[in-house]
């Protein structure tokens, strides 16, 4: 168990809908990362937050947004969903943003868009 908790584990929704994925980082970790894993794109970095502030952006679509709350949990909001958004979404966390810090991943949230 990495200590990173993600909910829900599985989610099925229709095209055009909006969903929210939730993440609780490991105790004491200030950085939260979101990744998308799909068969065709592999593991793609979406966005990083550090202590409530956006720190880095990767290949995140404009339809997607995220935030990190004062209690350090994070949410990834996916809107106007398309079939191609079906993927496994990972949250990960680490301590201070030193490049040598290990990033620990949650079990992921499986999103199926039908």
Binding site for another protein (CB under 8 A): 2, 4, 33, 35, 42-43, 45, 48, 55-56, 58, 90, 92, 97-100, 102-108
**CB of 39 or CB of 83, closer to another protein:** 39
DSSP state of 15: T
* Residue 110: Cβ-neighbour burial (10 angstroms; 0-12, 13-18, 19+): middle
**CB of 14 or CB of 102, closer to another protein:** 102
Minimum distance from residue 44 beta carbon to another protein (Å): 8
Helix H or strand E encompassing 67: strand 64-68
């Amino acid at each position: 168990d990495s200590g990173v908790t993600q909910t829900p584990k599985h989610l099925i929704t229709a095209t055009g809908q909006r969903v929210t994925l939730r993440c609780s980082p490991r105790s004491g970790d200030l950085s939260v990362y979101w990744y998308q894993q799909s068969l065709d794109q592999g593991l793609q970095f979406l966005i990083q937050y550090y202590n409530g502030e956006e720190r880095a952006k990767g290949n995140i679509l404009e339809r997607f947004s995220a935030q990190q709350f004062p209690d350090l949990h994070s949410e990834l909001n996916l809107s106007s969903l398309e079939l191609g958004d079906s993927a496994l979404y990972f949250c990960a966390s680490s301590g201070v943003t030193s490049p040598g810090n290990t990033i620990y991943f949650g079990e992921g949230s499986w999103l199926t868009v039908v």
